[in-house]
């Protein structure tokens, strides 16, 4: 029987996996290395017959049964005192939730959420999840963009979410300072965000250049001791330096006479903004915990992460191709290593949660 604890601080990861099964080994290595306590995953693409356990975690999941893709899941360390949350009826939003007993904040409810771009973001469904006492965190990909949480542009779901948040005095919608989504088309942007309600704990968001998805995982640290277990490598922007570099590079305004002149001017400005940001960005190498893996795999993971950071800076097709090659290599090495390991019992069988009810 594992003794349960009530944590004073939590390391929470939220991530759009865009298909969890082939990335399970990479996720397991990542969360072990950064000592994650809770992992909120969306777009799992799981079905009830698919396994997705992680060692030393209990899994709760809500699979999308009536259509492909979608799905949400929550992993929680098996030694943390918690229970699953029975969900209200949700027609558009997909969610999985747990309630965690904390040392100083009482019961903290956390939800992994996903709202497909083909579905509406309904304020009343958010209200269903938030209409309870106590601290609540909703985190994931709502496909809601707004500069208020560092998105580059605004869309309809972003306006809906901002209007909803502004009507209440107990909410904060937060996103990291750097993009979380690097898709095959379009420009990088912040898509993965968190809604915080009545959170009494200190919070910090960081994007990790890790894992294999168009989305990067976001680490949300709750509580004190933010620097005690610094987890991974982050890119940090000196915004004062960015302003200086951009101001120095812009020069006089271009002559605009045609639509083509406008397009050229916009493209040139975007290049200067990207260049200024690259010059003002430094990579912070924080403590890593991957000693349990063979050196070849550790080197492959480092090389993969460096390659992905390079692509995220340049957006060059050749850098994307190289990053994809190294992603496939590290995934293959991890899978081979896990298969050769001595089989070990995994505590905590997954619990399938469908429409808020437990299912076998």
Torsion of CA 277, 327, 188, 268, to 10 degrees: 60
Least confident of 69-73, 187-191, 230-234: 230-234
Q: Per residue in 30-65, is it b (16+ CB within 10 Å) or e — as a string?
A: bbbbbebbbbbbbbbbbeeeeebbbebbbbbbbbbe
Residue 358 pLDDT grade (very low, low, confident, very high; cuts 50, 70, 90):
very low
pLDDT at 242: 83
Q: Under a CB-based contact definition with an 8 Å cutoff, are residues 181 and 192 in contact?
A: yes
DSSP string for 258-306: SHHHHHHHHHHHHHHHHHHHHHTEEEEE-----TTS-HHHHHHHHHHHH
In this predicted model, what pLDDT tens digit does every residue of 91-149 receive, in sequence order? 999 999 999 999 988 999 999 999 999 999 999 999 999 988 899 999 999 999 999 99
356 pLDDT more than 60: no
Condensed to tens digits (0 to 9), the pLDDT of residues 49-82 reads 888 899 899 999 999 988 889 999 999 999 999 9
Contact status, residue 100 vs residue 108, Cβ threshold 8 Å: yes
Beginning with the edge strand found earlier in the chain, give each strand of the sheet holding 357-359 in spatial order.
203-207, 218-222, 10-16, 38-42, 72-77, 57-62, 351-354, 357-359
Average pLDDT rounded to a whole number, residues 175-200: 91
- Average pLDDT across the chain, whole number: 83
Assign 347 a pLDDT band (cuts: 50, 70, 90). Answer: very low
Question: Cβ distance 147 to 118 under 8 Å?
Answer: no
Please name which of 220, 218, 280, 214 lies closest in space to residue 247, comparing C-alpha atoms: 280
pTM: 0.69
- In angstroms, the CA 202 to CA 159 distance is 27
Residues 6+ positions from 276 with CB-CB distance below 8 Å: 242, 245, 246, 249
Q: What is the C-alpha to C-alpha distance for residues 12 and 205, in angstroms, rounded to an integer?
A: 10
Q: What are phi and psi of 247, to 5 degrees?
A: -60, -40
How many angstroms separate the Cα of 27 from the Cα of each of 216, 217, 242, 307? 12, 10, 33, 18
Residue 249 confidence (pLDDT) above 80: yes
Least confident range from 35-44, 83-92, 226-235, 276-285: namely 226-235
Structure tokens, 152: 């580059």
Residue partners of 230: CB distance under 8 A and separation at least 6: 286, 287
Are the C-beta atoms of residues 219 and 231 closer than 8 Å to each other? yes
The confidence band for 292, taking pLDDT boundaries of 50, 70 and 90, is low
Residue 254 pLDDT greater than 50, yes or no: yes
């Amino acid at each position: 029987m594992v003794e349960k604890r009530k944590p004073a601080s939590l390391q929470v990861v939220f991530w759009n996996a865009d298909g969890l099964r082939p990335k399970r080994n990479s996720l397991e290595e990542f969360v072990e290395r950064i000592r994650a306590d809770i992992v909120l995953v969306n777009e799992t693409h799981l079905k009830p017959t698919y396994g997705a356990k992680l060692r030393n975690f209990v899994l709760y999941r809500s699979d999308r049964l009536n259509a492909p893709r979608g799905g949400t899941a929550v992993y929680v360390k098996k030694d943390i005192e918690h229970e699953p949350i029975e969900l209200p009826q949700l027609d558009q939003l997909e969610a999985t939730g747990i309630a965690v007993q904390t040392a100083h904040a009482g019961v903290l409810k956390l939800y992994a959420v996903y709202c497909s771009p083909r579905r509406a973001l309904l304020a009343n469904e958010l209200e269903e999840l938030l209409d309870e006492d106590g601290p609540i965190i909703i985190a994931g990909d709502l496909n809601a963009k707004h500069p208020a949480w560092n998105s580059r542009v605004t869309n309809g779901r972003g306006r809906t979410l901002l209007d909803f948040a502004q009507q209440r005095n107990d909410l904060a919608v937060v996103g990291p300072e750097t993009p979380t989504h690097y898709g095959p088309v379009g420009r990088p942007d912040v898509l993965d965000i968190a809604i915080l309600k009545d959170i009494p704990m200190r919070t910090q968001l960081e994007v990790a250049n890790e894992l294999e998805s168009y989305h990067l995982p976001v680490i949300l640290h709750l509580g004190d001791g933010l620097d005690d277990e610094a987890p991974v490598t982050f890119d940090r922007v000196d915004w004062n330096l960015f302003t200086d570099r951009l101001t120095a590079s812009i020069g006089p305004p271009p002559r605009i006479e045609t639509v083509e002149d406008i397009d050229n001017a916009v493209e040139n400005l975007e290049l200067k903004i990207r260049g200024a940001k690259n010059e003002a960005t430094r990579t912070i190498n924080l403590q890593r915990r991957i000693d349990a893996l063979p050196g070849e795999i550790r080197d492959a993971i480092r090389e993969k992460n460096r390659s992905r950071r390079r692509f995220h800076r340049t957006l060059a097709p050749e850098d994307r191709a190289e990053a994809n090659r190294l992603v496939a290599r590290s995934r293959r090495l991890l899978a081979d290593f896990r298969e050769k390991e001595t089989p070990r019992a995994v505590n905590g069988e997954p619990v399938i949660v469908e429409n808020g009810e437990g299912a076998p």
